[in-house]
Amino acid sequence: MKDSVTNKNIKLARTLLLVAVGMFGFGYALVPIYDVLCEWKWIQRDRPDDIKKAPEIAYKVDVNREVTVEFMTILNESTPMDFHAETKSLKVHPGEYYTVNFYAKNKTNKEIKARAIASFSPALISQYFEKIECFCFTEQNFKANEVKIMPMRFVINPEMPEQYKTITLSYTFFDNTERSVKN
């Protein structure tokens, strides 16, 4: 009886060890798997932060529909700036063009280069949110203590599915000064 219990315990210990090793291996493999899946996903659709300038098209404005666009501004922890939108949210009609100003200030006594990266929630919306003019298209140069008013002109394509009533557009500013100096 004792040998039977000992054998069962040894078998259980081996099984648990194999499960632990398998879990570690799977966790280790997640990074390359994620890279492959994301690469495949981006082939299907542009990344939200790679949205480029869209032409201004005369859409038929859908006055019967209203979408709330929320604006969030975030600074990377090492970005010495103040950054915010003139408004936290805006009610818009698909097909109508709007301009929102964003304010940024270099809080240092030296020149910095910064880049804003956009992201959307829900992510699917990025294909319907068309930017005509945006500070996010290029790297921004700020002189010491400089304040900039940066417009972002956009339209929501009326073909956006009606189920979406709220869009969150988030911009994160990154300090690229050191990266720009190295290149």
> Chain-wide mean pLDDT for the chain?
84
CA–CA distance, 152 with 131 (Å, rounded to integer): 7
The long-range contacts involving 176-182, CB below 8 angstroms and separated by at least 24 positions, are 176/113, 176/114, 176/115, 176/139, 177/111, 177/112, 177/113, 177/114, 179/113, 180/113, 180/139
Q: Among 49-58, 105-114, 127-136, which is the least confidently predicted range?
A: 49-58
Q: What is the pLDDT of residues 82-121, one digit of tens each?
A: 999 999 999 999 999 999 999 999 999 999 999 998 989 8
pLDDT of 171 > 50? The answer is yes
Burial class (CB in 10 A: 0-12, 13-18, 19+), 125: buried
Mean pLDDT of 13-28: 85
CATH architecture of the region 48-182? Sandwich (2.60)
pLDDT at 44: 41
pLDDT at 179: 65
Beta-carbon count within 10 A of 113 CB: 16
pTM: 0.69
CA-based R_g, the chain, Å: 24
